[in-house]
Amino acid sequence: MKLKRFGVSMEESLLGEFDRLIESRGYKNRSEAIRDLVRKEMVEEKWESASEDCIGIVSLVYNHHQRELDSKLNEIQHEKHSNVLSSLHIHLDYHNCLEVILIKGSNRDIKGLADSLIGARGVKHGTLSITNSNPE
């Protein structure tokens, strides 16, 4: 297999901690440790996207004076009503609302729905947290 070299910049303190970690795990060098870390992330990513039983928590902060945003967010949730478990709406101040939406479904369903909600025009800040609904 052909190996390719690339440079990595890192704070000195972080590199020091990394060196201690890889030594304690018995790696011969940084390259070997980084390869393993990358592989681990790839496996998790694949596992996550294949996972069927997940719960997603979406939070949205938006200005409710933004034209048609309220009804747009409502419409998106109604379209996927079988995935939406619950939602909580808090009027943060005169302009801003916080909405927290609980979603169930496959990882893919949840990410798709979260993307349309977070990506709706006028949403100022949105986050998604996903957890497996039947952890081992």
Residues at the contact surface with Ni ion, assessed by CB under 5 A: 64, 91, 97
- Can you tell me which residue has the tokens 């109604």? 78
**58: exposed, middle or buried (C-beta count within 10 Å: 0-12, 13-18, 19+)?**
buried
Nearer to Ni ion, 22 or 120 (CB): 120
Q: How far is the CB of 90 from Ni ion (least distance, A)?
A: 7
Longest dimension (CA), the chain: 61
Judged by beta carbon, residue 87 or residue 116, the one nearer Ni ion is 87
> Minimum Å distance from CB 126 to Ni ion?
15
How would you list the strands of the sheet with 84-91, edge to edge? 84-91, 96-105, 54-63, 123-132
Question: Which lies closer to Ni ion via its Cβ, residue 69 or residue 97?
Answer: 97
Task: Name the residue number minimizing CB distance to Ni ion.
Answer: 97
Of 62 and 110, the one with the shorter C-beta distance to Ni ion is: 62
Give the residue among 63, 87, 65 at the shortest CA–CA distance from 76.
87
Distance of closest approach, residue 55 Cβ to Ni ion, in angstroms: 24
